[in-house]
Amino acid sequence: QLQLQESGPGLVKASETLSLTCTVSGGSITSSTYYWGWIRQPPGKGLQWIGTIYYSGSTYYTPSLKSRVTISVDTSKNQFSLKLSSVTAADTAIYYCARGVPAVAPYTHFDYWGQGALVTVSS
Amino acid sequence: QSVLTQPPSVSGAPGQRVTMSCTGTGSNIGAGYDVHWYQQFPGTAPKLLIYANNNRPSGVPDRFSGSKSATSASLAITGVQAEDEADYYCQSYDSSLSGSVFGGGTKLTVL
């Protein structure tokens, strides 16, 4: 059974960089069938797609965050990571990692999700 | 503001048929891109409920169904149960944004 687990600091200071890692178990991150994505949810609000990565390193980001986001993959560890720079209180959210299928952007849906990691930005 | 528009809330009595909408534009649903639906209970991660407009993953009860037409999509629950009380989100692809987009979510209350 595929499992995804987010890890990283739960508290980040404003203007600094948020860093999270998603560890994938029960399946290979190098499968050609899947994307790997990050989605966030501010407290009490809806879902926002942040970006997606393919095991080869190809990335796709939502335009509103593109200037601050970097998603990377470490195939040797079966992990992918999120970095969000210059954070503000508006970046406080639960951050989910998820598997996207198929690896064809217009058709991708997310079938496996991590439990989520709450990241609070403090002033 | 979400790119896809969902009603904030819907409600229905147990056993009734409940529907909720997801309205898009010509750059997403109207362009023919698939719509997917997720169910989320408080404090838990979203769960895939319907993919590619009207397909249910293994384990999802057949009382859940999806449909799509023109620039909108709908999720129907036939014979709603108390355990279905949750938030529901639609998702599609937007060509002008070159990425996935979600609706704002609909809270289902079972009366």
Q: Is the pLDDT of residue B28 over 90?
A: yes
Residue A33: how many other CB atoms lie within 10 Å: 11
Which of A63, A109, A114 lies nearest to residue B91, judging by beta carbons? A109
- Give the residue on B whose Cα is nearest the Cα of A51: B99
Look at residue A107 in the predicted model and tell me its pLDDT. 86
Cβ-nearest to B93 among A61, A106, A111: A106
pLDDT for residue B83 = 97
Contacts of A61 in chain B (CB under 8 A): 99
pLDDT tens track for B53-79: 999 999 999 999 999 998 999 999 999
Cα dihedral A71, B100, A4, A96 in deg (nearest 10): 80
Residue-wise pLDDT tens digits, A58-71: 999 999 999 999 99
Q: Which two tokens stand for residue A122?
A: 């403090």
- Interchain CB contact of B34 with A (< 8 Å): yes
Instruction: Report d(CA B76, CA B65) in Å as an integer.
Output: 5
What is the rounded average pLDDT of the residues B26-45? 97
B102 lies within 8 A of chain A by CB: yes
Q: What is the pLDDT of residue A105?
A: 82
Average pLDDT of B42-46? Answer: 97
Share of chain A above pLDDT 70, in %: 100
What is chain A's mean pLDDT, rounded?
Answer: 96
Radius of gyration of chain A measured on its C-alpha atoms: 14
**The two three-digit tokens of residue A24, written as one number:** 């994938």
Nearest by CB to B99, from A47, A62, A114: name it. A62
Give the per-residue pLDDT at A103.
83
* Structure confidence at residue A25 (pLDDT): 97
Residue A105 contacts B, CB cutoff 8 Å: yes
Q: Identify the pLDDT of residue B95.
A: 95
Mean pLDDT of B78-107: 97
pLDDT score for A106 = 84
Per-residue pLDDT, B1: 82
- Quick one: tokens of B35? 């719509």
pLDDT for the residue numbered A43: 96
Provide, as residue numbers in chain A, all residues whose Cβ is less than 8 Å from the Cβ of B45.
96, 113-116
Would you state the pLDDT for residue A6? 98
**Is A109 at the interface with chain B, CB within 8 A?**
yes
**Averaged pLDDT, A95-117:** 94
| CB pair distance less than 8 Å for A48 and B36 | no
User: What are the tens digits of pLDDT across the range A68-105?
Assistant: 999 999 999 999 999 999 999 999 999 999 999 988 88
Q: Which of A73-82, A99-108, B82-91, B100-109 has the lowest mean pLDDT?
A: A99-108
- For the segment A21-49, the average pLDDT, to the nearest whole number, is 96
A49·B99 Cβ contact <8 A: yes
Mean pLDDT calculated for residue range B30-49: 97
Pairwise CB contact (< 8 Å): A63 & B99: yes
Q: CB contact, 8 Å: B37 with chain A?
A: no
- The separation between the first and the last C-alpha atoms of chain A, rounded to the nearest angstrom, is 40
Query: What confidence score (pLDDT) does residue B100 get?
Result: 96
What is the spatial distance between Cα B72 and Cα B83, in angstroms, rounded to a whole number?
Answer: 26
Among B9, B51, B100, B107, pick the best mutation site for testing chain A contact (most A Cβ within 10 A): B100
Average confidence score pLDDT of chain B: 97
